[in-house]
Each structure stands twice: as structure tokens, then as C-alpha cells.
Chain A
Amino acid sequence: MNLAEYHPLFTDNLQVVNIELGAGCGNFGQIYYPECFITDMETKSKLDEICTNHFVTISCDARNIPCESNRFKNIIMCNPYGYGFKDRRDYTFLNELYRVSLNEANIIILTSGVNRFATPDKVKIRIKDYNLEHSTTRFMFDYQEIDSEKDYEGYNFFTTNRRKTFPKFKIALKCLKA
């Protein structure tokens, strides 16, 4: 991707260093990590159709974010589905996360134990393989159980067909770029 393809909001608002990926109709990032870009792969007109309200200002694929490298301090994903850590040896997404992260950036993933795109066990295995592949620790992995109804009281998470979902884990990756 060259400079001309970067999204103007990313290039014009350099003070904003947080981004939510795959936000759908939500704005978790804006609430818990303000100032935050809210993005999703769906077009804004499609989201206008699906959501009663949405906050997406940039439509982009999480695996190909139209911004310069070393850009974000916090990268947030809630219930990634349709993108993530599904397959062994597919490092497209991890490479992109690594590219856009600042040194010591946090990647926060809220997920369930049965989400084949991002269950903690799977992400842990992918990170281990990825680090081995690069013979260095590019990401550190940690996770904890959460009670999303209590921890994020009043905030609703949704599946891609607008059914409520309740993430059970918070994964925290730290990106190391020394």
C-alpha cells in the first residue's frame, strides 16, 4: 500500500492512536479507549441498513488497514468473526497487526471460548508459532476471564446477524518492536 492509498482520517488525525477493528454497530473503542477510530469491513451504507445506529468512520479490512506503519498504541477487537486467527500458518492478520502497532502497543481482544477466529487457546498457539517463525518475541500473550455484563455494564455486543453475544475472555497481546 502506498501513501496515496492511506485513509485521510488516519493521516490527518495523527494524535489519535487507538483503533477498533470489526466494530460493526458498536463503539466499544470510543467508550473504553477514547480517542479511537471506529472501523469495520462493511461499507457505511450497509451498516446504515443493518444498525439502528453505528459509529464507523472508516470501512476497512482488518487484514489490510489503510494507514502508515507504527501507527497505533491500542488496537481493539470485540468478537472478531470472519477475520482473525483461524488457520495455522496464515499470518496475514498478525503481520498487519505487527506493521501498524507502535512498540509496546496493546492488542485487546474480547472473545468467547468457542470462537474459532479468536478463542484464547487458538490465539496462544498462533502467537507461539508466529514468534518461532520470526525467531523473536514479536507479541506477548496474556488473557483473563471476564464477566462482560458486569465489566462493561450497559454495553451490548452482537454477532454478525445482530444477536446478543457475551464475550467471556479478554486477550491482551503486547507488541514488541525494539
Chain B
Amino acid sequence: MYGSDFEDPETVGQPGASALLDEVESAERDLHEAAARTVATGGSTGPGADAALQDYFDAVIAADQKIEPRDWMPGAYRKGLIRQIAQHAHSEIIGMQPEGNWITRAPSLKRKAILLAKVQDEAGHGLYLYAAAETLGSSRDELVELLITGRQKYSSIFNYPTLNWADVGAIGWLVDGAAIVNQVPLCRCSYGPYARAMIRICKEESFHQRQGFEILYTLARGTAAQRQMAQDAVDRWWYPSLAMFGPPDSDSTHSEQSMAWKIKRFSNDDLRQRFVDMCAQQASVLGLSIPDPDLRWNEERGAWDYRQPDYAELFRVIKGDGPCNRQRLRHRRQAHEDGAWVRDAGSAYAAKQAARRAGKRATEQVAAA
């Protein structure tokens, strides 16, 4: 998922970034290898009797192989995955808005092109993910309906506004950065179509993260006003990005089952720590400061100590009271409604074409007879 912040209860100086990409690649290799093996208990032909279905499912999970769309799976596994993948897809689509806000004002043609391509990638991510959810039996139309009626959530990070150009950099660096940390383990998720979508998406997200880093790097070395812009953006995006990993493990509800099913593989706090460790090093390369007076290296733990985000704020945003919740949803709903006549025209035209082809075939058959 984009973040876990929507559930109720080698590059120049980017330390840590290439390690994540290596993990994506190793997940991809393992995926291919696992596909070549057969499950020990199930034999090569898969399950026979109905009673063996659960055993077979458990064996596939235990062997780190993938569950595929036609395999039997527990109802709760299917339901949970649909929800998670859909919410991830919604996040990609809603996530187009905050950055899309700066495309028409991008300060150079090169930056405009990069940003436009990035936002386009996010639309592509949304499309793969809806397609992955469809393999579990929920149509995209249904899922989009759940989004625009507010019955399913998207990552809360996108309910914050983009107030200056540096926000585009901060989103790339921090938000895409957090998304990668969250998503790299999902490249090993037990559900095949989701794992494969994540491998593809993670590779693109790492470009986004690098581009964001570059924007901030350039601004931090620019005029006083540019530098101030960059620091302001990092100051505003830091804690919401930390909150993307969701509530602390002590309050996190249904993650045990997800762990057992190998959908989730690390706890919220583990991933958050990993993100902080990566950013703390990168911030010093950027020459920007992270707005946390408690941030310091802890020799004993071999990790950075940091201040937790304000989880009360996270819950307010999840409940709908963030700065932009209403605006983001209204925008999505408006685009959907404004496009209805176009989608109707597309289906009407396709139906006419099909009827014409059928009519032509009938005429040919009559002529041939």
C-alpha cells in the first residue's frame, strides 16, 4: 500500500536508496525461482479434495510461493487483499492531485516535463493496481465508487496541501521515499499479481524519490528564497510522512493475520525506523534539517532516535478533517461526473460497432447461402 496511514485503529548522496532497489531486484529473482518450484505437500498438480484446499494454501504460503487468482484462498484473505490493493490504487489516483497542482507553474520546462511524467506514472500505478484487485473479483468501477463515496480510504498524506514548488521535491523525497520503504516488502507479498505489480511500481517510485531529492538538492544550493522554500517544505512534510507508516505497533489492529499470510512482513514501527534512518543520512547530504530536536544517532541501538508524529492528528485526518480531504474527494468526484458522458459515448460507440460487425456477418452468411 502507499502508506499505512489510512487504516482505522546509487545516487549522489542518497545513502540507503540503492539498498532498497537491490531488495526489489532480489524479490523479483526469488519470485521467478519460487514459480519454478513445486509445493512440497501439494505435488505438482495442486490440490485434489476440497478438504485439502486449506492445507494447500498454507503450504504455498509456508514455501514462500505465490497464491494466484485461480487458487483457493480463505475468504478473509481475499477480502483483506481487495481492500488493501484498492486503497493503494486510490492513493495513487488521489496522489496525482497535490503534485498535479504545480505542473502548470513548474519553474522550468525540464522540471515541467519530469513532473508531468511522474504524475502520469502515478495514474499508471493506479491502473495496474485496480487490475490486480480485479483478479480477486472486484471490478474497478465498484472500487472507484467506494472511493468517491468515501467508503474506502486512501493514504492520508495526500490530504495535505502543496503550498510551494519545493513541496514537489519534498513529496518526491519523503512521500515517495516512505512509499518505497512500505512497498519494497510487498514485492514479496504472497499474492502473485500484487507482488508483481509492486515490483514494477517500486522501480518507478525510486525514480520519483531521486527526482524529488534532486529538486531539493538544487533549491538548497540556490538563492536564499529557494533555500527557505526547501526547508519550509521539509518542515511541513516530515511528520505527515512519518505518519504514513500508520499507528505505533502497540495500537495497530489487524496486522498479525496479515503477517501470518505474508501480506505484511514488517511492523509499522520497524518500517518507520528504517525510513528515519535513511532520511537522517540523506538530509545532511541535502543540507536541510529535519524538524526534530530529538533526532540523534543511538550507538547502542544502531539506529536514529526520533520523535513520533502526532497520531491524534493522523486520526483526525483519517476521519476526514485534514486540510484537503474534502477538496481531494470533491475533485475526484467532479472529474468522474464530468467524464460520465464521455464514457457513455465510448460504450455506445462500441455497441454500435459490434452491432455493425454482427450485421455484416449475417449479410455475408445470407449471401453465401
Q: Are A and B interaction partners?
A: no
